[in-house]
Amino acid sequence: MKLALKIAWRFLTSSKGQTILIILGIAIGVSVQVFIGSLIAGLQQSLIDTAVGRSSQITIRPVNRDDRIPDYEAIITKVKATEPEINSISPVVDSSAFILANDSTYPTLLRGLQFDTADGIYRINEGILEGKLPTGDQVMLGKEFMDEAKLKVGDTISLVTASGTKRDVTVSGIFDLGVANLNKNWALSEMGLVQSIFDLGDQVTSIESQVSDVFTADVVGANIQKVVPSSLKVENWKDLNASLLSGLNGQSISSLMIQVFVLVSVVLGIASVLAISVAQKSRQLGILKAMGIRDRIASLIFLLQGFILGIFGAILGVGFGLGLAVAFTKFALNPDGTPVIDLFIDPQFIAISALVALAAATLAALIPARSSSRLEPIEVIRNG
């Protein structure tokens, strides 16, 4: 083993140009993998973040649409106790209503929230553009709605229910949740206001929550379903966003395909260069065999060459890839100076890419290793 390593190392260092070329080849392959992988992962993260980052990922609501949840405090306590994966959980009173402002009527979703807990889901405090959170007979409206209805903070508007009840409220502030649709259609207030307008007592319409790992939402949801009364159903974002998920899935697969093809080309490259090097070193192999080196050790020389090339290629490739990724986030910027895509650097993914390249390099060396083991010393000795 030591001898094989010494010979492998010497073979590699005595034809430096060729060695550097293969290492560069592997490194470029690995760096493409690391870069593309991080790019796609970052892309997916930002997509998921946009889609479900500021929304309820698991929602508990009555099976029957017109029912309410009376004992929501007890349910929240129970859910928190059973599922440590739940990050934030908050009761909500939702109801559709109309907003009467400046002689125009707008349909709206009136959302009664418990702001201290709802902030964990919607990051409302972060999203306040102007004014403050509503209390009592106040509502907070979205940026787009305020523009459309030509309202400003402090204005008075009327909330009208389908049955005709009307309540005057003042606008306490403007929010921007990052999604135009929500900014236009949501009116936020304290739970109590909605409960009193619609005469709901201390009942809520749903309980919303977020989990620490968004992809576990379905499993966590299923666990929650087991502990809540059967009159309630538990929905999770994955079931409701099948098309987004299949899109992400398609992206993952195409990313995997790219990586597989890069890998194949790396393997072919190494295999062919090492095959050439067996031919180049057949004289040396013949001499070593005439001196009594065993076939196994002779093969090991080439296997180790592949391994050494793989190690250096992988290390260099990870360096290149990370460099590329950093350069990308530094130089590919939006007008406001934020990166176009935040890359997601996953150490585990990078470690796997490096290990796979290493394994591929070693595997690629198997073919030349086999042919080196078959070489008969007499061929070399006889033919000079």
Partner 1 sequence: MANVISLRNVNKIYGTEIKTQVLYDVNLDVEENSFSSIIGQSGSGKSTLLNIIGTLDKPTSGEVFINGIRTTEMKKDALAKVRNETIGFVFQFHYLLPEFTAYENIIMPYRIKGDAITPEVNERALELIHLMGLDKVKDNRATKMSGGQQQRTSIARALINNPKIILADEPTGNLDSDTTEKVYDLMRDINDKFKTTFLVITHDPRIAQKTDRIIEIKDGRISLDLVNQIA
**DSSP secondary structure letter of residue 50:** I
Within positions 297 to 316, which residues make up the interface with partner 1, using CB under 8 A?
A: 297
CB of 89 or CB of 301, closer to partner 1: 301
> Which string of DSSP letters, residue by residue, matches 236-247?
EHHHHTHHHHHH
Q: Tokens at residue 62, please?
A: 């009555």
Taking the complex as a whole, the smallest distance from the CB of residue 11 to partner 1 amounts, in Å, to 6
CB of 197 or CB of 309, closer to partner 1: 309
Q: Does 384 bind partner 1 (CB under 8 A)?
A: yes
Strands 186-190, 104-113: pairing kind: parallel
**How far, in Å, are 91, 155, 209, 257 from residue 169 at the CA level?**
22, 9, 28, 56
Taking the complex as a whole, the smallest distance from the CB of residue 316 to partner 1 amounts, in Å, to 24
CB of 51 or CB of 297, closer to partner 1: 297
Q: Does 10 bind partner 1 (CB under 8 A)?
A: yes
User: Site for partner 1 (CB under 8 A): which residue of 214, 224, 289, 328?
Assistant: 289
Euclidean distance between CA atoms 113 and 92, whole angstroms: 5
Could you tell me how many residues of this chain bind partner 1 (CB under 8 A)?
Answer: 25
Q: Which stretch binds partner 1 (CB under 8 A): 110-118, 290-298, 326-334, 357-365?
A: 290-298
User: Site for partner 1 (CB under 8 A): which residue of 260, 290, 326, 340?
Assistant: 290
CB of 245 or CB of 287, closer to partner 1: 287
Q: Contact at 8 Å (CB) between 233 and 10?
A: no
| 306 SS3 class | helix
Euclidean distance between CA atoms 314 and 353, whole angstroms: 8
- Closest alpha carbon to 122 in 77, 184, 178: 178
Taking the complex as a whole, the smallest distance from the CB of residue 1 to partner 1 amounts, in Å, to 10
- Closest alpha carbon to 129 in 172, 85, 66: 172
User: Site for partner 1 (CB under 8 A): which residue of 94, 295, 342, 346?
Assistant: 295
Taking the complex as a whole, the smallest distance from the CB of residue 36 to partner 1 amounts, in Å, to 38
User: Site for partner 1 (CB under 8 A): which residue of 11, 72, 237, 328?
Assistant: 11
Euclidean distance between CA atoms 376 and 380, whole angstroms: 7
Task: Catalog residues that contact partner 1 under the rule CB under 8 A.
Answer: 3, 6, 10-11, 14, 283-284, 286-297, 377-378, 380-382, 384
